[in-house]
Amino acid sequence: MTTATGAAFAVVGASAPGAAAERRGARERERAAAPGPERGPGPEGAPAPERAARAEGFRGMWVATVANRDWPSRPGLTAAAQRAELLAHLDRAVERRLNAVVLQVRPTADALWPSPYEPWAQCLTGTQGRDPGWDPLGTAVAEAHARGLELHAWFNPYRVANHADPERLAASHPARLHPDWTVPHGGKLYYNPGLPEVRRFVQDAMLDAVRRYDVDAVHWDDYFYPYPVEGETFDDADAHARYGADFPDRADWRRHNTDLLVSEAAARIKEVKPRVAFGISPFGVWRNAADDPEGSDTRAGVATYDDLYADTRKWIREGWIDHVVPQLYWHIGHPATDYATLLDWWETAVRGTGVALHIGEALYKAGAPDQPEAWQDPRELSRHLALAEGRPGVGGHCFFAAKEVTEDRNGALAAAVADHYPDRVRPPRRPDGS
């Protein structure tokens, strides 16, 4: 085993449950010394944010910036227009009685803050590397907190581009400076998770934002190794030959690489700012029961363990993450991936671990004409929240995504808010009590 691999093994060992308890304790001590959760007045001319007497559940909203999905509405807007759109999303979250915004700040290995590691994000100006003339992440943190919202910084670790042409990247982009770090796959470009220098770099790039800003959490989505592409194999044979000698099964080696990324990041977040939480939002199926008796009674075509090489259940058991937000993007009664079945599986997965469970909800499907009949019913989403209320291990929900929070095509979110969110509340306290 190489020195780099041996050192990485040591990090995994250090992140066992005892170390997780130490991490939670450190966060509790820092929060105890920091100002309390109550925020000051809102922006000029706006009322101070309402605050409930106690925490009562996570109510989040994703804001996707990749390909200008939610914000900015298009690239090249003026700084003032971008800022106005961002504040409108935050205001709408308040109107919907939400309490957290999960903002995508590193969509394609570029940044929504002045990063020394990566270029400015293309979604801002239309040209990767061009200064937008303001600090979107810094503004988002300040304005979210002024409204009584948490701001979770959402990073995608390995995606470099939604195309496979390095020449289209900014000249200063690390993927152009280190072409050996990348793997084209399915018409897109990814960093290679099998390279220790890549894992270290992507952690450094993300932790820069944690050091600079008062973010409440680091958030990762479901993209680790890329989703399978028919007829293609992710070409990491050279990295496996160099670093995977102890793993004759390449799938086990890939899962080990993802474990290293997660465990190392967890330890480094603690070192940088212990009060910052670490959450991951995986695809909703860990494994199907047909492949593992401990898997869910589902027949999903993709499973995180087998296809994305992400052992999400292990991260919960090891205490490497503070909360998990599985994407349960199916309706109740779905024949292959029933929402209720998966809700119960995930509640069992977190039981007794101290890891909080927030459910990712497919608001984008509500009222969409290409979705099954169940999603045409404005009460479907409210029924999801009602099911979760009967499971004490469920600590809240996160809605995908901001555009649909505003549009609310068939009134599904309005119905869910009316049924389940009568008042604004604080986000829940962390598992460590902070």
pLDDT tens digits for 261-312? 999 999 999 999 999 999 999 999 999 999 999 999 999 999 999 999 999 9
pLDDT, tens digit, for every residue of 300-346?
A: 999 999 999 999 999 999 999 999 999 999 999 999 999 999 999 99
Question: Which of the residue ranges 32-46, 132-146, 273-287, 386-400 would you say has the lowest mean pLDDT?
Answer: 32-46
Mean pLDDT for all residues in the chain: 89
Query: Exposed (0-12), middle (13-18) or buried (19+): which is 293, by Cβ within 10 Å?
Result: exposed
Q: What is the pLDDT of residue 364?
A: 98
Distance CA 240, CA 225 (A): 14
Cβ 186 vs Cβ 268: under 8 Å: no
Give the SS3 label for residue 177. Answer: helix
pLDDT, tens digit, for every residue of 218-246?
A: 999 999 999 999 999 999 999 999 999 99
* 182 φ, ψ (degrees, to nearest 5): -110, 155
Q: Strands 100-106, 394-399: parallel, antiparallel or unpaired by DSSP?
A: unpaired
Distance CA 60, CA 421 (A): 12
Cβ 276 vs Cβ 216: under 8 Å: yes
Cβ 155 vs Cβ 145: under 8 Å: no
pLDDT band at 26 (very low <50, low <70, confident <90, very high): very low
Cβ 327 vs Cβ 284: under 8 Å: yes
User: Average pLDDT, stretch 18-32?
Assistant: 44
245 against 46, higher pLDDT: 245
Q: Tell me which amino acid residue 180 is.
A: D
Sheet holding 188-191, edge to edge: 159-161, 188-191, 182-185
Cβ 150 vs Cβ 216: under 8 Å: yes
Q: What's the DSSP call for residue 376?
A: G
Neighbour tally for 373: CB within 10 Å: 8
Q: What's the DSSP call for residue 228?
A: P
Residues of the chain with pLDDT > 70, as a percent, come to 86
Element (H, E) at 280: strand 277-280
Q: What is the pLDDT of residue 48?
A: 34
Q: What is the pLDDT of residue 429?
A: 62
Q: Among candidates 170, 171, 168, 194, which has minimal Cα distance to 181?
A: 194
Using the predicted structure, report yes or no on whether residue 30 has a pLDDT greater than 90.
Answer: no
Distance CA 143, CA 43 (A): 7
Packing angle, helices 3-14 and 250-272, rounded to 10: 60
Q: In sequence order, what E strands does 136-232 have?
A: 150-155, 159-161, 182-185, 188-191, 217-220
Using the predicted structure, report yes or no on whether residue 21 has a pLDDT greater than 60.
Answer: no
Distance CA 389, CA 96 (A): 19
Q: What is the pLDDT of residue 427?
A: 86
Cβ 212 vs Cβ 113: under 8 Å: yes
Using the predicted structure, report yes or no on whether residue 40 has a pLDDT greater than 70.
Answer: no
- Structural tokens at position 121: 């994000």
pLDDT, tens digit, for every residue of 420-433?
A: 999 999 888 654 45
Q: What is the pLDDT of residue 428?
A: 80
Give the rounded distance of the alpha carbon of 162 from its chain centre.
18
Question: Which of the residue ranges 48-62, 64-78, 202-216 would you say has the lowest mean pLDDT?
Answer: 48-62
Q: Strands 100-106, 356-361: parallel, antiparallel or unpaired by DSSP?
A: unpaired
Using the predicted structure, report yes or no on whether residue 382 has a pLDDT greater than 50.
Answer: yes
Give the SS3 label for residue 358. Answer: strand
Packing angle, helices 339-350 and 380-389, rounded to 10: 30
Q: What is the pLDDT of residue 193?
A: 98
pLDDT band at 53 (very low <50, low <70, confident <90, very high): very low
Q: Among candidates 189, 181, 220, which has minimal Cα distance to 323?
A: 220
pLDDT, tens digit, for every residue of 400-420?
A: 999 999 999 999 999 999 999
User: Average pLDDT, stretch 356-367?
Assistant: 98
Distance CA 228, CA 302 (A): 8
pLDDT, tens digit, for every residue of 155-175?
A: 999 999 999 999 999 999 999
Cβ 70 vs Cβ 89: under 8 Å: yes
Q: Among candidates 174, 36, 24, 40, which has minimal Cα distance to 108?
A: 174
Q: Among candidates 214, 205, 206, which has minimal Cα distance to 31?
A: 214
Distance CA 322, CA 360 (A): 16
Element (H, E) at 102: strand 100-106
- Structural tokens at position 218: 């680091």
Give the SS3 label for residue 150. Answer: strand
